Amino acid sequence: MADGATLHSSAGDTIGELLARNASSHGSDVALREKERGIWKETTWAEYADEILACAAGLEQLGVKPGKAVLILGDNRARLYAGMLAVSLLGAYAMPAYPGATLEELQHFLGEVEIVAAIAEDQEQVDKILELRDAGATSIAHIIYDEARGLGFYEVDGLMSWDHLTEVGRHDLNEDPNLREEFLKRAKPEDPAIFLHSSGTTGKPKGIVLSQKNVLAAARNGHAAGAFREKEEILAYLPMAWVGDYALTVAAALLLRFTVSVPERQETVVRDMREIAPTFYLAAPRSWDQMLTTIQVGIENSTWLKKKVYHFFMDRAIAAETRKLNGKSGGALEGLGRILGEAIVFGPIKDQFGMSRLRNAFTGGEAIGEDTFVFYRALGIKLRQLYGQTENSAINAIQSAGEVRLHTVGKPAPGVEVKIADDGEILLRSDSVFDGYFNKPEATAEALEGGWLHTGDAGYLEDDGHLVVLGRVSEVMHTAGGERYVPNYIENRLKFSPYIKDAAVIGAGLDELTAMVCVDFEAVGHWAEVNGVPYVSYADLSQRDEVAALLLEAFHRVNKAVTEPLQLKRFVSLPKEFDPDDGEITRTRKLRRKVVQERYADVIAALYDGSKEVHVSAQVTYETGEVGKVERSLPIREV
């Protein structure tokens, strides 16, 4: 249990106060590890605080102050995290953007507030800012870079290395002995912690400024709910522009003194996780699905004996966990089978994927498939569901370890009040709720009407307080026959199949429901290789009859779970994935329904006019930024 100073809301109400406490009372503890050229380098809390303060002093010299912003651009890096914290000490806005953000997306951010500096990971991100400069889209005067490779011969005004910035800052700190303490005490609880953005599913993303009071309240609520403990070890791999990353890697890490390990690259996350073996892990359902697919493919490619042993223990463990989730007890020998299975099968699998030390494992962002959820719990990973939003600093409701149910997201976290509006919308009230959308008074008034955060999600509370989330209120639709449905609810259940990556359910104002789906290229590709199904491209693989049979299994399973008027009648497998670069989904993979329906209007028409196939010309944005087309005739398949 944490000490009183850690969790008492009057002691450590700001980032500066917590940083000072960690540096003085726990200065020799490891705050960060970062892998560089294959070697893990450790930074203590005392060293981390010194780096943050040097950065803050350097940024102040560049004109960073309250009301101004600093753009953070790149993948997870220790210095980018330090930069965000330094900006918070100055009372300014730290504004992280997704590393894959397009120039158009960045231009939108630049129009919200004056950005006086940017901290960029490497040459690729520096070039984006310079391109915006050249186009006259930004007046960012100073660009600080972490990775120097490729930038040695750049002659650009305002371009400087991180080392140069902190050298300037350290000079100022040495000149004024009181400056260090002044920085740590300057910001107030109401001052900004982070400037994030909504997903932008229905329009341009809205600016969301979370105060230091908001994010630390959320961390306290999560701790009180049992989501994490003091001194957890976590892997910083989630996008820095996502509230879930900030809530864990910065807010909770400061409050509860986590050790944060930063992977070498996104491509090395699996290997780095195996080396670190974190005690806490949060991932979206898609990540858990992908890991499960990798395990299953590995088993299928192993020897006959290994497959037999795996299925002997795994099948029994899954049956036992299913019984437990349904409130039934197991047999007398179940415990013995668990011990043997842990030694022979479960333990080695968890060790291979860096999950041997997990105390707390969570999934969030959307619903997770029952098969995936039960698999990990059978493996011995006590996976739980978490419900959160950016506007509420990421933590709304959490399943407790002893009350895990497939259809709920648990009870509201301590410190979070929940009620259900007359129209079924989930309303929240907590110190973790933001003060409103940046410079958008009308949207703010709507979101915070009556002193409650209107989440935009439909749901209900069960008699014992468990919260059930159905989907977006704005997406509650009706068929021509008046049947009410939430397309996102059905789409998520289609995506429970490891072979379906994205789905769009159609049917508002129509007689029947149909769907367009995008196959998961990695999962279906593995299946095709194991089963000898030839293909030459995503477009080719997605249209194979053998793959259609896999997809039909998912449709049949969904149709069994819904009433007859809401059963899916036909579907099309699209020749490309929905892509954020094409504007079809957000960076957090939420469907932009209006864009998809406009872009695939011909496909939707064919799903209802009796056609047997439809010709489609789909937009594709390549890694180079060039836009092309994928042309294909797609069969309309009956469920």
Which amino acid is present at 421? A
CA 7-12-18 angle, 5° bins: 110
pLDDT digits (tens, 9 = 90+) for 567-577: 999 999 999 99
| φ, ψ dihedrals at 510, nearest 5° | -115, 170
Q: Is there a contact between 431 and 459 (Cβ–Cβ < 8 Å)?
A: no
Burial classification of residue 532, based on how many CB atoms lie within 10 Å of its CB (0-12 exposed, 13-18 middle, 19 or more buried) = exposed
| φ, ψ dihedrals at 258, nearest 5° | -70, 160
pTM recorded for the entire structure: 0.85
Report the share of the chain in percent with pLDDT over 90: 73
Domain 13-212 has CATH 3.40.50.12780: yes
Composition of the chain by helix, strand, coil, percent to 5: 40, 20, 35
Q: What's the 3-state SS for 382-432? A: CEEEEECCHHHCCCCEECCCCCCCCCCCCEECCCCEEEECCCCEEEEECCC
More confident residue, 202 or 153: 153
Report the share of the chain in percent with pLDDT over 70: 96
Distance CA 521, CA 116 (A): 41
Distance CA 262, CA 278 (A): 12
Torsion of CA 170, 175, 177, 180, to 10 degrees: -30
Q: Kindly report, as residue ranges, where domains of CATH 3.30.300.30 are found in the chain.
A: 476-638
pLDDT digits (tens, 9 = 90+) for 79-109: 999 999 999 999 999 999 999 888 888 888 8
Tell me: pLDDT of 169 over 50.
yes
CA 408-414-419 angle, 5° bins: 60
Distance CA 198, CA 209 (A): 10
CATH top-level class for 408-474?
A: mainly beta
Residues β-bridged to residue 631: 617
| pLDDT range class, residue 330, cuts 50, 70, 90 | low
Distance CA 319, CA 334 (A): 11
Q: In whole numbers, what is the pLDDT of the chain averaged over residues?
A: 91
- Among 113-127, 196-210, 247-261, the least confident range: 196-210
| pLDDT range class, residue 582, cuts 50, 70, 90 | confident
Average pLDDT, integer, range 476-481: 90
Tell me: pLDDT of 460 over 90.
yes
| pLDDT range class, residue 562, cuts 50, 70, 90 | confident
Q: Kindly report, as residue ranges, where domains of CATH 3.40.50.12780 are found in the chain.
A: 13-212
- Among 72-81, 226-235, 487-496, the least confident range: 487-496
Q: What is the pLDDT of residue 406?
A: 81
pLDDT digits (tens, 9 = 90+) for 428-452: 999 999 999 999 999 999 999 999 9
Average pLDDT, integer, range 519-540: 92
Measured from the Cβ of residue 409, the count of other Cβ atoms closer than 10 Å reads 23
Domain 476-638 has CATH 3.40.630.10: no
Q: Kindly report, as residue ranges, where domains of CATH 2.30.38.10 are found in the chain.
A: 408-474
| pLDDT range class, residue 290, cuts 50, 70, 90 | confident
